[in-house]
């Protein structure tokens, strides 16, 4: 279950960026580059949709029959 509440996350982000296990987990699943885009506003339904379609082996989203690779520059 994913729950996201719109609010400022500066304290949590700083804590995560200084927590080695958290950084390793984000890096290992390929999501660290997205985590570092802190100015982005998140929407719970979109976040849930994308998380459910993330394919770790190819480091991309599989949506229907399409592979979607998103780089920080795309955001």
Q: What is the pLDDT of residue 47?
A: 76
Q: What is the pLDDT of residue 7?
A: 52
Strands (E), 1-75: 54-55, 60-63, 66-68
pTM of the prediction? 0.40
Q: What is the pLDDT of residue 62?
A: 93
Q: What is the pLDDT of residue 46?
A: 77
**Mean pLDDT of successive 10-residue stretches along the chain, which has 75 residues:** 57 78 84 66 73 89 89 68
**Domain regions of the chain by residue span:** 10-74
Q: What is the pLDDT of residue 67?
A: 92
Q: Which residues touch 35 (CB under 8 Å, ≥6 apart)?
A: 13, 16, 26
């Amino acid at each position: 279950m994913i729950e996201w509440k719109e609010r400022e996350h500066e304290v949590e982000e700083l804590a995560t960026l200084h927590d080695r296990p958290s950084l390793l987990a984000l890096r290992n699943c390929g999501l660290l580059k997205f985590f570092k885009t802190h100015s982005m506003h998140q929407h719970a339904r979109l976040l849930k949709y994308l998380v459910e379609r993330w394919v770790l082996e190819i480091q991309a989203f599989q949506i229907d029959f399409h592979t979607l690779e998103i780089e920080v520059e795309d955001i």
